[in-house]
Amino acid sequence: MRFYTKQHEYYCGIDLHAKKMYVCIMNQSGDILYHKNIHTDPHLFLSILGPYLPDIAVAVECTFTWYWIADLCLNHHIPFVLGHALYMKAIDGGKTKNDKIDSEKIAMLLRGGMIPFAYVYPPKMRATRDLLRRRIFIVRKRAEFLSHIQNTNHQYNLDDINKRISYKANRVCLDDHFPDPIVQKNVDTDINIIAALEEQIRSVESIIVKCARYHDPIAYTLLQTIPGIGRILALTILYEIENIERFPKVQNFVSYCRLVKCPRESSGKKTASKNNKIGNANLRWAFSEAACLFIRDNDYSKQYHQNLVNRYGKAKALAIIAHKLGRAVYFILKRRCGFSYNIFYAGKLSGIHEPSV
């Protein structure tokens, strides 16, 4: 947990919504100078901040509407703090809760140096990251329609389809496999939607690859030298990280990727962790997928995985490999060098093919 501790003459806390925002401005002594509910109008907001410039900081809780106000503060050189939503729930509390009280509490936390902040993703790569996340959503919807076709086949206890319907060629005349015309229409609807989703996926992927070659072509290439990380996983890792320099230590990075446990202990007693959702879910997914693909690369990786399974079990074995891949990504991007099996396995190997950049 990191806190924003810089001192300013004035502090602005905002409880932000889509159409309205409750603004609270206070000075260093804690006196409230402005406290009103206003429209989310950039010009109106700047006019309110005018008398308190240039030494004022603005804090907003991390909700889906923060992009515009972060960019507005950036363009006008106003310090902006994005409060971490999960951490603020642990700190902020009270018997009564409303927008007016919340805005004042955000301002008070900012003034006291007690507001836990999240990373403000720069606008340069932000839209591409959001488009990539949308692609993941579309791919999962496509999987739902593919599963529905298989489930329909099982509902009527028909013969197995015996081909991978994820391939377009195997879906030709697939509706004829079902004798009932209404069921055929049901399946045909799924097939048409899958085709439309696949067209969108291809279009989105081509745009994102072009953006990656413009934003950071070196990192995009280096990530693909890691066995198990292909084009899509490399894009996901690249855009979710944005800049590896924002992580001072490898421990900070793997924690952000949800690749470590979150122990909770008091008076020598350990309790179940409640902080598993703190971090980046997309990076967690990417490294989990990469771990499964990594062990297919060569016999030594398979043997290494089997040794871990024998010692820790299947779930923990994959978690260990995912953690090691996270550390590998950190140092690859820090040092700008390709993947090395000998470094990954701490120099215990010889004779394994090394990927070239």
**pLDDT, tens digit only, all 357 positions of the chain:** 789 999 999 999 999 999 999 999 999 999 999 999 999 999 999 999 999 999 999 999 998 899 999 999 999 999 999 999 888 876 666 777 888 999 999 999 999 998 999 999 999 999 999 999 999 999 999 999 999 999 999 999 989 998 899 999 999 989 889 999 999 999 999 999 999 999 999 999 999 999 999 999 999 999 999 999 999 999 999 999 999 999 999 999 999 999 988 777 777 777 766 667 788 999 999 999 999 999 987 788 888 899 999 999 999 999 999 999 999 999 999 999 999 888 888 756 555 555 554
Burial class (CB in 10 A: 0-12, 13-18, 19+), 231: middle
Distance CA 104, CA 89 (A): 15
Q: What is the largest CA-CA distance in the chain?
A: 78
Residue-level pLDDT at 276: 73
What are the residue ranges of helices labelled H in the chain? 42-49, 67-75, 85-91, 99-111, 123-155, 181-215, 217-223, 231-241, 250-256, 281-294, 299-312, 314-335, 341-344
Amino acid at site 299:
D
Strand 56-61 versus strand 32-39 pairing type: unpaired
Place of tokens 């409750």: 22
Global pTM value: 0.87
* Residues paired with 57 in a beta bridge: 11
Residue 52, token pair as written in the block: 């308190």
At CA 216, angle to CA 211 and CA 217, rounded to 5? 85
Residue-level pLDDT at 352: 56
Q: What is the CA radius of gyration of the chain?
A: 25
Distance CA 257, CA 240 (A): 10
Half-sphere exposure of 209 (CA within 13 A, CB side): 12
Place of tokens 């507001």: 115
Amino acid at site 128:
T
Residue-level pLDDT at 95: 76
Report in angstroms the alpha-carbon separations of 88 from 1, 82, 102, 278: 10, 11, 11, 12
